Each structure stands twice: as structure tokens, then as C-alpha cells.
Amino acid sequence: MLPKASRLADRRSRVGRTLLTDDLDALLFLDLQNIRYLTGFTGSDGAYLLERDRSVLMVDGRYTTQAGEETSGTKVFQYREKVEGIAEVLAGESLRNIGFEAAAVNVETYGKLKEKVSAVRLQPLAGDLVNIRAVKDDGEIASLRTAAAIASRTLLALLKDVRPGMQERDVALELEYRMRQNGAGGVSFPTITASGMHSALPHAAPGSRLLAMGDALVMDYGAVYEGYHSDETCTFVLGQASAPFQEAYGIVKAAHDQALAAVKAGVACAEIDRIARDHIEAAGLGRFFSHGTGHGTGLDVHEPPRIAAPSKAVLEAGMVVTIEPGVYFPGKWGIRIEDMVLVRENDCEVLSKVPKDLTVL
């Protein structure tokens, strides 16, 4: 499904109003998800220029036809080399100041750009820019809801087949295959299926380890639907949970639940992180919670806002974020519990559908 022409125009108009301030004549985008967000183009390379009265998508020869089909209200320009193409599009226009994505342009490209368009002043944008996609519109929320539902439904069905003796990587492969059979366009990121000691590595790659009785099993996974990424983590145990595992699980689960209960418009992201962290610290496990509490998700699986201590962001209705506290005991096991939620005015809607009470497989 292509984003509706009117929706794309709305986004461009909003971004223009917010970022095309008096001292900027145009915005140059190189981040492919920002380009997709503003033009509908889904290719793997390109550049996009937004002016008050002009919208130009630049692509190479592989994508000219596709760009014409996917975009509307935007001129398509074909280049042989990107930076030269940008220079050509800018030539003849009387543009003086152009804002660009400081996080999406590397120092090499920036150097070439400065050289080729020396008459233009390039102004790095950071703060406002990264947040242009943070609040989702109805179409985006629908895609994220579907992505989360496909993922959860697939995992719940797969659990019946997960048993000791299976390789971690086979569990991951089966989950990814079935999510795509169930309608996912792809997976949000390489699935984590970390068992036993591996579960103590927050981002372990699935390997040849065989699941064994008594193992913790951390599964972090997501489905992509219409370009939108779901993200959910479940921690299971095989056969029987030890007392220390049950205790730690209860602590992480309570931290997760308390943070989630606090999610609503107007609350600082740092406050959500504080709630989860306080609970885990009070239980004496603070030093084992080695990452932030969550992040936004959308066209990228990690996007603003960050839900972490240094975050300055404040939750707004329409944001979709994860809540994912965890604890990791090196050489032993780990636990992470993650739901993806839609922020509403007075609470949140949990989009992930796998129950988070401790489940013994």
C-alpha cells in the first residue's frame, strides 16, 4: 500500500512549516527513511530536496521508473553520481541556505557537497529534524499494529514446537520464515534466540547451541509491515524455572509493568526510564540493567524518542515506543521483557500480544 498522496503532502507541509524557517531556503534529505516518509519512495539510494514550492526526488538509473510510480507531487530527477546530481538540481536556483540531516550525511559526502555547491551554505539540522517521524499518523499506527500482531501471533503458534534439543538458529529461522508467511514484508532485525548462558548477552546472535531443560530463552524479534517495524522481547524458561530466575523475572516484570503504567502523553521519557530503573535498583539488581528502557519504532526499528536517563524527549499521543527493561548475569542467564505500545492522552495501548507472565515451555 502506498501512502496516500494527501498524506505525503501533509507530511511535507508540516515538515516545511517546522523546519523551513526564515533562514533556510530548502531542506536536503539523504536518510532513506526520511525520504520514504516524505515522498513514498522505497528504493535503497537517493536524495530529496524540499523547498517551499518545489519537491525533487533524485535517484540513479536503477530507480527512475520505480520513483515515478511510488511518488506523487514530486519531481523525479535521475543522476549518475549522487553529489553531482544534487549540485545539478541546485544549479540555477537562487538558494542560499540549505538545511541537511547532520546524522545522515557522512564527513566524506559533506566534503564533496561543500565543494560542488560552494555558493550554498549547508546548515546541519539535528534536534527538530530527528523528531519529524516520532508522532505517527493513523496509517502508520495501523501498519505498526498489524506488524506487532503478525509477530506475536506467529511466535505464539511457534511456541508449541519449541523444545529442548533444537538449535537456537533453527528457532530463529522458523520464526522469521513463518512471520513472512503470515504477511510480514521482512523482519525488523535479525531475530535473537539466546538460550542458557547466551541469554546473558543482551544482543547475542543465534548459534548452534541446543536448547536444554532449565534454560532461559530470550527471544527478541519483530515483523515489518508496509515498512513499519514491530519490536517485542519475551523471556521463557524450558522445563522448570529455578527460584533465583523466578525472583529476577518477577523484578523485571514489575519494572516493565510499572513503567508501562506510567506511559501517557506529557510524561518525560527520562521519567519512564527512572521508574523501571528505580524498581530494579531497589531490588539490588541495578548494575545488571545495562541498557536504556526503550525507544521509538516506525520506519526504523530504532527511532526517536529514546527512553533513557539522558533523554530530553517528552511522550506525545501517537508515538509508538518500546518498554524493555532487562537484567543480565554474565556466565549465567538473562531476562528482558519488551512490549511495544502506542502512547495515548491518558494511557497507552499495548500493541505486542504475547502475554508477559512467566511462561514455562
Contact with a copy of itself (CB under 8 A) among 21, 73, 96, 103: 103
Q: Report d(CA 159, CA 171) in Å as an integer.
A: 9
Inter-CA distances, 258 with 168, 265, 269, 274, 284, Å: 31, 16, 14, 10, 17
What minimum distance in Å lies between the beta carbon of 141 and a copy of itself? 23
Interacting residues of 106 by C-beta distance below 8 A, sequence separation 6+: none
Q: Output 178 or 344, the one with its CB closest to a copy of itself.
A: 178
Q: How far is the CB of 107 from a copy of itself (least distance, A)?
A: 4
Is residue 290 part of the contact set for a copy of itself (CB under 8 A)?
yes
State in angstroms the smallest separation of the CB of 318 from a copy of itself.
Answer: 26
Binds a copy of itself by CB under 8 A, chosen from 310, 346, 357, 360: 310
Residues from 317 through 336 that contact a copy of itself (CB under 8 A): 330-331
Site residues for a copy of itself, 155-184, by CB under 8 A, read 169, 173, 177, 180-181
1 interacts with a copy of itself by CB under 8 A: no
CA angle, residues 193, 194, 198, in degrees to nearest 5: 165
Residue whose C-alpha is closest to residue 8's, from 63, 50, 66, 58 = 50
The single-letter code of the amino acid at 259 is A
Q: Which of 6, 13, 65, 246 binds a copy of itself (CB under 8 A)?
A: 65
Give CA angle at 248 (243, 251), nearest 5°: 130
Taking the complex as a whole, how short is the minimal distance between the CB of residue 100 and a copy of itself, in angstroms?
Answer: 8
Report the distance separating Cα 88 and Cα 194, nearest Å: 50
Which residue from 9, 142, 205, 268 is in contact with a copy of itself, where contact means CB under 8 A?
205
Closer by beta carbon to a copy of itself, 169 or else 353? 169
**Beta-bridge partner residues of 220:** 192, 233
C-beta closer to a copy of itself: residue 12 or 191: 191
Rounded least distance, CB 73 to a copy of itself, Å: 21
Minimum distance of a copy of itself from residue 338's CB (angstroms) = 14
Yes or no: say if 274 and 310 are a contact pair by the CB < 8 Å rule: no
Q: What is the Cα–Cα distance from 250 to 47, expressed in whole angstroms? A: 48
Neighbours of 93 (CB within 10 A): 15
Cα distance between residue 296 and residue 343, in whole Å: 10
Which residue type, as a one-letter code, is found at position 202?
Answer: P
- Minimum distance of a copy of itself from residue 50's CB (angstroms): 19
Residue nearer to a copy of itself on the CB measure, 336 or 356: 336
Candidate ranges 33-41, 56-64, 149-157, 353-361; the one touching a copy of itself (CB under 8 A): 56-64
Nearest to 219 by CA among 277, 254, 175, 166: 175
Cα–Cα distance for residue pair 194/128, rounded to 1 Å: 37
Contact yes or no for 45/76 (Cβ under 8 A): no
Nearer to a copy of itself, 12 or 34 (CB): 34
Name the minimum Å distance from CB 13 to a copy of itself: 26
List 6, 13, 21, 106, residue binding a copy of itself (CB under 8 A): 106
Half-sphere exposure of 31 (CA within 13 A, CB side): 19
Q: Which of residues 183-202 bind a copy of itself (CB under 8 A)?
A: 185-186, 190, 200-202
Q: Which of 73, 111, 239, 355 touches a copy of itself (CB under 8 A)?
A: 111
Rule CB under 8 A: which residues touch a copy of itself? 42-44, 60-66, 81, 100, 102-111, 124, 126, 169, 173, 177, 180-181, 185-186, 190, 200-205, 290-291, 310, 330-331
